[in-house]
Chains A and B, each alone.
Chain A
Amino acid sequence: MDFNFSGEQKMLKESARSFLERECPKTLVREMEKDEKGYSPALWRKMADLGWMGIVFPEKYGGSEGDFLDLLVLLEEMGRACLTGPFFSTVVLGGLAILEAGKESQKKEFLTQIASGGKFLTLAHTEPATTQYDPYLITVKAQAERNDYLIDGIKLFVPDAHVANYLICVARTKGEEREKGGITLFLVDVQSPGIQWDLLKTVARDKQCEVIFHKTKVPQENLLGGLNEGGAILERLLQKAAVAKCAEMIGGAQFVLDMCVSYAKEREQFGRPIGTFQAVQHHCANMLIDIEGGRYITYKAAWMLSQSIPCTMQVAAAKAWVSEAYKRVVSLGHQVMAGTGYMEEHDMPLYSRRAKAAEFAYGGANFYRKVVAKEIGL
């Protein structure tokens, strides 16, 4: 057993933190919340030059051969910095899907372009009918027509579709609408005719979209993985996405705690720092307890995923716990920061708004409790 990061991971963590503190100040984050694209091309370029986009890809595709844990180290720092933009959608959703299921030619084309920072991808997965999260509720249909498929239907909560070059569309090619079988993944060029997107206005002011496919033609060679075999690919991808999201959330939660602790040491009321009051101390202790539990279960699940050890239970525990833990951390954070943290210009709302968006991404606590109920034989 070893809870330490490797020497390289420690260096990566430190350099990512100082880079993001310098290059992604909160002024930029706020600016990007209002920006149409939602990211800074100059910053994106610099991140690509650091090799971040290719961190988990093989060298032959322009990557640096890191593993899933290395990616998590980066994501934790990104969550801490509230980095905006299509890193998660491009690298985690797009990159890992292609790495997992792509043909050699697809890997060569797409991974190389992701690693160089030249292309954006995302996953078009959930739908208007997803009123309760269910990864296999897929009604968007893809029908074969000679050498092509025609995709029809609406995808919702698609992150960064407004800037993506390619969408990985999860479509039904067979079976009933909640069946895991009969799902196929398609790599769709956004330039294809019949695609329309709209930005949604979200609490986190991140760029989530509605994407409408209207008889969108996708050539057969753009299948990602086998026909009707998308369910299994999706399952592994969403496990990784859930754990990756947890890492981002833990980074954010840790920043909130750090901010509260330094505030509690400085802010004086009744003639002494508020951090001397046990009520405030206990709030901070509770935040730390939540964060530590969240961090270790996240990294344990990530380690198991990277070792290909079955870990449905640990992934579910991680996302269920972190979803609720981050929520508790921000509400305690607001309690410690009080009026000052309620101001729009303060950093606190950046985190509480993001915590809410992340809570439901790739399944919230209710969903994962159902997963666990099944795991324990109920």
Chain B
Amino acid sequence: MDFGYTKEEEGFRERLGKFLDKELTEEIARQNWEDKGVGPEAREFSRKLAANGFLGMSWPKEYGGKGLSPTYDFILLDELGKRWGAHIPLDIGYTMVGHTIFHRGSEELQREFLPKIIRGEIEFCLGYTEPNAGSDLASMKIRAVEDGDDYIINGQKTFNTEAHYAECHWLAARTDFSPNIPKHKGISLFIVDMDSPGITIRPLWTMSGERTNEVFYEDVRVPKKRMVGEKNKGFYYMMEAIDSERNHVFTPARLLPLLKDLIRYVRETEFQGKRLAEDSLIQEQLAGAAIELEVAQVIAEHSRWMESHRVPMTYEPEITKIVVSELEQRLVDTGMQILGLYSQLEEGSKRAPLQGRIEWYFLHSFMTTIGAGTSEVGRNVIAQRGLGLPRS
């Protein structure tokens, strides 16, 4: 066993840390984490990350990467997370769909998209969820019908968060309509230009102020060569990618800034002439959170290690997701308990502590245990795939 990083990895972390301290502004970090929409600042930051050699470490050389271990991308995520940058600026492309394009896409698709992804120049939007296909994703209805060299697509997606700034839609659509096949066997994946005629995007506003979207398809023409991998295998590709997605999205380090803010707050804030940091109940609560974060870190390191060493993953990234997301909620609650009346003050309000961050985090934290699959579905996966319990 060895829980350390190599000298090269530590060197990368150090160089990256210095770069981020200089380049990653609060504005950029928040455009990302708070899903405010990746603006010009974050786009520029993304290109700089690539230009300075911090993107693409783990990607194949033929597309502009360095061919090294995925560990480097996880270090990148950790270092961003420590600085409020919860993910890589254009992260749907970089940490999610890019891997599937590489493993399953045609050479033509690889050549078209991978270099742009590695240069930090293109973003995708996941097009999975539909109004009647949430946890039961395979029951999606959007239809793609063959017509000459194209597919013609009709239907609706929802909660497609990046749709209003991404260049491409990573669309899952039904391509086999036979009633006799299991519903997950008739789905294919497409890369659709977001500005294709017939696509309408409507904003949906979440309770914490992020924009997500409904996306409507009306006779949208998509060339057949934009299908990813084989026809009707889309759902398998989605499931195949899900473990790596969880490893890349649920980064414990992103909770560190919140914990640090709370520690700073209790050290600076007094009650009756005594610092809150001396209150034993508050000490206990924050120490408990720090312990959970330490455990979450090693849980994440374990599933990342599996991915980096191509050890088949079954339920481990699901554990990472559940632990990180539920910890986020508990940490936010701990923060609110400590801030008390002040915890309700939002950013911009008079007397808001910690820039009102904790109020935003409270609202946002409802999403973390439902986004990318609910904790309940996650626990089913752990029980059935991890422990071999029978399906209900």
Contacts and interface: CB of A to CB of B under 8 A. Distances in A.
B386 A288 contact: yes
A32 interface: no
A317 interface: yes
Interface stretch (A48-56, A141-149, A270-278, A343-351): A270-278
A3 B1 contact: yes
B388 A261 contact: yes
A8 B198 CA distance: 63
B74 to A, nearest CB: 10
A292 B319 contact: yes
Contacts of A300: 3, 298
A369 interface: yes
Contact of B1 (A282, A292, A303): A303
Interface string A358-376: 0000000010111111011
A285 B298 contact: no
Interface string A292-324: 111011011001100100000110110011000
B305 A261 contact: no
B294 A373 contact: no
A377 B267 CA distance: 8
A132 to B, nearest CB: 12
B145 to A, nearest CB: 37
B383 A282 contact: yes
Contact of A288 (B284, B290, B294, B382): B382
A370 B286 CA distance: 10
The winner among A273, A282, A303 for most chain B CB atoms within 10 A is A282
A366 B295 CA distance: 17
A296 B2 CA distance: 11
Contact of B376 (A282, A307, A317, A373): A282
B287 A293 contact: no
B263 interface: yes
Contacts of A289: 319, 322-323, 382
B295 A293 contact: yes
Nearest to A275: B389
Interface in B42-95: 71
A338 interface: no
A281 B389 contact: yes
Interface in B315-333: 315-316, 319, 322-323
B257 interface: no
A293 B388 CA distance: 20
Given A292-B299, A377-B263, A372 B291 contact: yes
A42 interface: no
A191 to B, nearest CB: 42
Nearest to B384: A281
Given A275-B390, A276-B390, A296 B283 contact: no
Nearest to B284: A369
A40 interface: no
Contact of B299 (A6, A284, A296, A372): A296
A281 B379 contact: yes
Given A285-B382, A314-B294, A378 B287 contact: yes
B380 A278 contact: yes
A231 B364 CA distance: 47
A284 B2 CA distance: 29
A269 interface: no
Given A289-B322, A304-B3, A1 B294 contact: no
Contacts of B283: 369-370, 373, 378
B319 A288 contact: yes
Nearest to A273: B390
Nearest to A73: B1
Interface residues of A, number: 51
B266 interface: yes
B78 to A, nearest CB: 13
A285 B379 contact: yes
A238 to B, nearest CB: 18
B387 A285 contact: yes
A5 interface: yes
Contact of A281 (B1, B5, B322, B383): B383
A69 interface: yes
A204 B376 CA distance: 35
A293 B298 contact: yes
Given A277-B392, A281-B384, A373-B286, A1 B71 contact: yes
A299 B277 CA distance: 31
B295 A321 contact: yes
Contact of B379 (A282, A297, A378): A282
Given A276-B391, A284-B389, A3 B380 contact: no
A369 B291 contact: yes
Interface in B243-265: 259, 263
A206 to B, nearest CB: 27
B387 A288 contact: yes
A5 B376 CA distance: 32
Interface in B347-392: 376, 378-380, 382-384, 386-392
A214 interface: no
Contacts of B312: none
A297 B294 contact: yes
Contacts of B233: none
A2 interface: yes
A372 B287 contact: yes
B392 A278 contact: yes
A6 B2 CA distance: 10
The winner among A285, A304, A370 for most chain B CB atoms within 10 A is A285
B295 A2 contact: no
A93 interface: no
A105 interface: no
Contacts of A377: 263, 267, 277
A89 to B, nearest CB: 26
Nearest to A317: B294
A68 B71 CA distance: 27
B49 to A, nearest CB: 23
Nearest to B266: A378
Contacts of A3: 1, 302, 305-306
A257 B387 CA distance: 9
B288 interface: yes
Interface string B267-300: 1000000000110001110111011101110110
B386 A285 contact: yes
17 contacts: A1-B3, A275-B390, A281-B384, A282-B383, A285-B382, A285-B383, A285-B387, A288-B315, A292-B299, A296-B295, A296-B298, A297-B294, A297-B295, A299-B1, A304-B3, A317-B295, A378-B283
Given A276-B390, A313-B290, 13 more contacts: A276-B391, A276-B392, A277-B392, A288-B319, A289-B322, A293-B298, A297-B294, A368-B291, A369-B287, A370-B283, A377-B277, A378-B282, A378-B283
4 closest cross-chain pairs (CB), A and B: A281-B383, A373-B283, A372-B287, A285-B382
